[in-house]
Amino acid sequence: MRHGKIIAALSAAALALAGLAGCGSGEPTTPSTDAPVDGPSGQLEIFSWWTAGSEANGLEALVGVLGEKYPNIEFVNNGAATGGGSGKDVLQTRMAGGQPPDSFQVHAGAEAQDYITAGQLQDVSNLYDEFGLNNAFPQDLVDLLTKDGKIYTIPSNVHRSNVIWADVKALEKAGLSTTDAYYDSMESFIAALETAKAAGFEAPLSMGMTWTQVHLLETVLMADLTPVQYNGLFDGTTDWTGAEVKKALEDFGKLMSYTNADRDSLDWEEALAIALDQKAVFNVMGDWVPGALDARNLVDGTDYLWAPSPGTDGVYGFLADSFGLTTGGPNPDAGKAWLDVISSADGQTAFNKVKGSIPARTDIDLSSFSDYQQSASKSFKNDVIVGSIQHGAAATIAQGNAVNAAVSKFTTSPMAEANLATLQAELAAAFA
């Protein structure tokens, strides 16, 4: 099984929030008194849910780069006071009321579609040319971000969704080796789960609430469909009611039968803890997991292992945080400066080294990044990039909500053939 050193330790949330006192609480940073008079100036207002832990520290690092490159700009994050979910509601209310910030955080890809349709995001394709991003970003990523020939957001980072994590002691208790032979296909992985169950693990695959179940489902679709077929689910060239999707949903149902009964009451980190406590063996989750592993002082290769989720070697499940320019924002020059910083090599290096994700740019020297990040970056350059459903790259907000509702209905009912057919029909309707 592939593995690398864990990502740098996260700061405590209290320290992270304290570090954001000047850049995340609504209070503007103070420009340097030695700042030149040219260049954009004034207040830059963004909305971001990066308010704690490595996310908050990463934002602080970005603001540091902004201050060096554009010292006359005062930075304000008005999303910090409201938090992730509620912040999005406040943002939508403000946007609908004609009071947009200069820029706001959104998952790259289809999640931004509602704002695009409403005319609330500007086309920033020209900035891809101006900032040299068409060469710095891989073509698969540029294609994924392009809608009807236009691009509306710029990613600051990249996460991988299709990763499986295993506890070494649990593997030993289950009688499973530390090689990745049983990750080659869904069939071999299901056989490994059966082996673990026979060894006494009642639920060898730890699982959390609905969104984590959708996360698992998308990795099964990536495994059982080719990348072309998977991407076709979102442009109408692959039939959601077809036999290939049915096979993937059958495999998803089988995997869910190996999960813990209390899954709907657990978030992702609580579900991960079941495996780390050797009450399960495996957990499928994105590569924000290393922060939780580091908090337990666990060592990669000794305490835990990771690999691309079963059957997805050569495929990169993409999600990313991104920003755009709002239509009618109060300081468009400052907004453009922000996009310049988050897309620059300096900005992406400073941010991602702290957050644990990888740069969207493929021209950055990663020798000072963790081994995991270096491996993930290599995969991002070489693998086929496909978009995450759960994390907004491939699904709009409305589509994502419909998928979550369909999966919740399926996993809280007996996973019989009739209910599987209902799940398939409801997924097809979500993307009709």
Per DSSP, which regions of 227-303 are E strands? 282-284
Containing 306, the helix (H) or strand (E) segment is strand 304-308
Pick the closest to residue 412 from 309, 262, 306, 268 (CA basis): 262
Residue 12 confidence (pLDDT):
30
> Helix or strand or coil: residue 357?
coil
306, two tokens: 């990771």
Whole-angstrom CA distances from 273 to 67, 236, 262, 293 are: 39, 38, 13, 9
Residue 3 confidence (pLDDT):
36
Give the whole-angstrom CA distance, residue 58 versus residue 64: 10
Pick the closest to residue 157 from 219, 108, 88, 102 (CA basis): 108
Residue 144 confidence (pLDDT):
80
Per DSSP, which regions of 140-183 are E strands? 146-147, 150-151, 154-155, 159-160, 163-167
Q: How far is CA 329 from the centre of its chain?
A: 27
Is the separation of the CB atoms in 356 and 8 below 8 Å?
yes
Give the whole-angstrom CA distance, residue 154 versus residue 324: 6
* Residue pointed to by tokens 């503007």: 28
Residue 218 confidence (pLDDT):
98
Residue 32: how many other CB atoms lie within 10 Å: 11
Which residues, at least 6 apart from 109, have a Cβ–Cβ distance to it below 8 Å? 144, 145, 318, 319, 320, 387, 388, 392, 393, 394
Residue 206 confidence (pLDDT):
98
What are the structural domains, with CATH classification, of the chain?
Answer: 13-158+321-368 (3.40.190.10), 163-317+388-430 (3.40.190.10)
Is the separation of the CB atoms in 421 and 265 below 8 Å?
no
DSSP letter at 319 equals E
pTM, to two decimals:
0.82
Along the chain (432 residues), what's the average pLDDT of each consecutive run of 10 residues? 30 31 36 54 94 84 97 90 60 89 93 91 97 92 88 96 96 90 91 97 98 98 98 96 97 97 95 97 93 86 94 95 96 98 97 90 92 90 93 93 96 87 97 96
Residue 308 φ then ψ, to 5°: -55, 140
What burial class does residue 269 get, using C-beta atoms within 10 Å of its C-beta: 0-12 exposed, 13-18 middle, 19+ buried?
A: middle
Helices (H), 22-78: 53-69
Give the whole-angstrom CA distance, residue 426 versus residue 432: 10
Residue 215 φ then ψ, to 5°: -55, -45
Exposure string over 270-304, b if 16+ CB within 10 A, otherwise e: bbbbbbbebbbbbbbbbbbbbbbbbeeebebbeeb
Pick the closest to residue 31 from 68, 79, 58 (CA basis): 68
Residue 244: how many other CB atoms lie within 10 Å: 18
The answer to whether the Cα torsion of 245, 247, 253, 257 is positive or negative is negative
